[in-house]
Amino acid sequence: MAPRTPPRPFEAGGVIISWWRCVMLDLRLIRERPDLVRAAVASLGIEAPIDTILALDEDRRAILSEVEALKARRNEVSKEIGRLRGGPGAEPLKDESRSIGERIKALDENVKSVEGKLNSAMLEMPNLPHDSVPAGKDDRDNVVVRTVGEPRQFDFAPLAHWDLGPTLGIIDFERGVRMSGTRFYLLKGAGARLQRALITWMLDLHVAKHGYTEIYPPYVVREECLWVDGKLPKFRDNIYHDAEEDLWWIGTAETPLTNLHRDETLTLDDLPRSYVAYTACFRREKMSAGRDVRGIKRGHQFDKVEMFKFTTPESSYEDLETMVAQAEEVPALLGIPHRVILMCTGDLGFVAAKKYDVEMWAPGCAEWLEVSSLSNCTDFQARRGNMRFRREQGARPEYMHTLNGSGLALPRTLIAVIENYQQSDGSVVVPEVLRPYMGGIEVIR
């Protein structure tokens, strides 16, 4: 691929003025079916500047036709001046061209300002939900699609990982906090190794069995990457940012993976493309302390194995089901109960057209832990990142569809393993599938 610098989708002041224009939600759809778009957005419970967009779009097209006619005339006049080679008769033409130029300049500034506002507004437009997504207000309306596996029956009271971990010496909260503050911890000995085993095993599973290509991406990215994957503008406050170099720490491998084929036009043969990446993830998570943040469930830094797929519009929903099944294999092979939740419109968020969560049962803290979130983002990210494909040589490029899903998030999977495999004496049995990655250790004690 040609190493070209992607234009930044904004400039100081937040006004977008690059060629990065009008490609978020298809502008034509908003223009032609505003009623439909309005209803869809309303079902998400998200505010979107649809009226602003409609007005700006109309403005833009009106100015554009005028300015293009002027430019056509100026090009003509300039050519004529060139033919005259400075001979007589050139001067009046220069005057005409000059005055046309002034009008063009004024109108161009208009266009720029209108397009800037239009692009900002378009970047605020969420993706629209698929027909198969249940209507609902919030997470209470999500649908449990299936529950797989029976919770283990304990003949003692199972402990939560925040008790088990420190006792076993595999989780150290105090020293983590001493180094880095609240919401940091460290894993130690067999605990650190168990997490590493999970990472390697999951990567191997997705590469060898599911055909994904492993990627080791950068953990810091430029701002435009976050616009492309849809983290911006919504999550600005949750992202760590190095002001000195203007680099942003990823909150998920989805961000670099989404940008993997940015500004590329692939062929149909290239699709689908499946990638899996293990990365650390960084999130500011400005939640207050409380039950939800006890233990290692929600830290500022965590590890995750992420699956990502670039695919075609006609197969993306099928691919989503496949990806969910691939994520479910992790709890299945670990022998831990899990369930699959279909998110309702009100809990879909900004970029997904359809989204499932996979949750694993943790008997110690007695809750279903979200270990994966799998989304079909349809062409939403592809439009933002100009990611296209051609069906055949010479055919018009079309936007790809992108999907992402955790192939599982780590500390939570670790929690589930520890809590499900604990024994009455406080030791933890290593699941069968992980033993080859644990140097044969069968029990952590």
Partner RNA sequence: GGAGAGGUCGCAUAGUCCGGUCUAGUGCGCGCGACUCGAAAUCGCGUGGGCAGCAAUGUCCCGUGGGUUCAAAUCCCACCCUCUCCGCCA
> Which positions touch RNA (CB under 7 A)?
2-5, 7-8, 17-19, 21-23, 27, 61, 64-65, 68-69, 71-72, 74-79, 81-82, 86, 94, 97-98, 101, 112, 393-394, 396-397
Which residue number, 94 or 300, has a Cβ lying nearer to RNA?
A: 94
Shortest Å, Cβ 54 to RNA? 13
Euclidean distance between CA atoms 41 and 44, whole angstroms: 5
Which residue number, 81 or 164, has a Cβ lying nearer to RNA?
A: 81
Which residue number, 33 or 137, has a Cβ lying nearer to RNA?
A: 33
Shortest Å, Cβ 142 to RNA? 35
Cβ atoms of 414 and 296 within 8 Å: the answer is yes
* Tokens 């919030």 found at: 138
Euclidean distance between CA atoms 378 and 401, whole angstroms: 4
Q: What is the DSSP letter of 437?
A: G
Euclidean distance between CA atoms 33 and 54, whole angstroms: 11
Euclidean distance between CA atoms 372 and 383, whole angstroms: 25
Euclidean distance between CA atoms 230 and 239, whole angstroms: 13
Which residue number, 3 or 88, has a Cβ lying nearer to RNA?
A: 3
DSSP string, 259-313: GGGTT-EEEGGG-SEEEEEEEEEE----PPSSGGGSTTSS-SEEEEEEEEEEE-T
Shortest Å, Cβ 18 to RNA? 5
Which residue number, 12 or 289, has a Cβ lying nearer to RNA?
A: 12
Euclidean distance between CA atoms 339 and 325, whole angstroms: 11
How many alpha carbons fall within 13 Å on the CB side of residue 71? 11
* Tokens 């969560």 found at: 357
Which residue number, 75 or 424, has a Cβ lying nearer to RNA?
A: 75
Which residue number, 221 or 418, has a Cβ lying nearer to RNA?
A: 221
Which residue number, 255 or 373, has a Cβ lying nearer to RNA?
A: 255
Euclidean distance between CA atoms 179 and 176, whole angstroms: 5
Euclidean distance between CA atoms 205 and 1, whole angstroms: 29
Cβ atoms of 361 and 336 within 8 Å: the answer is yes
Cβ atoms of 350 and 227 within 8 Å: the answer is no
Shortest Å, Cβ 192 to RNA? 20
Q: Which ranges in 13-147 belong to alpha helices (H)? A: 27-32, 34-44, 50-84, 90-123
Euclidean distance between CA atoms 225 and 381, whole angstroms: 10
Structure tokens at 71: 């430019």
Which residue number, 72 or 443, has a Cβ lying nearer to RNA?
A: 72
Which residue number, 18 or 110, has a Cβ lying nearer to RNA?
A: 18
Shortest Å, Cβ 270 to RNA? 14
Shortest Å, Cβ 84 to RNA? 8
Nearest to 241 by CA among 252, 232, 233, 250: 250
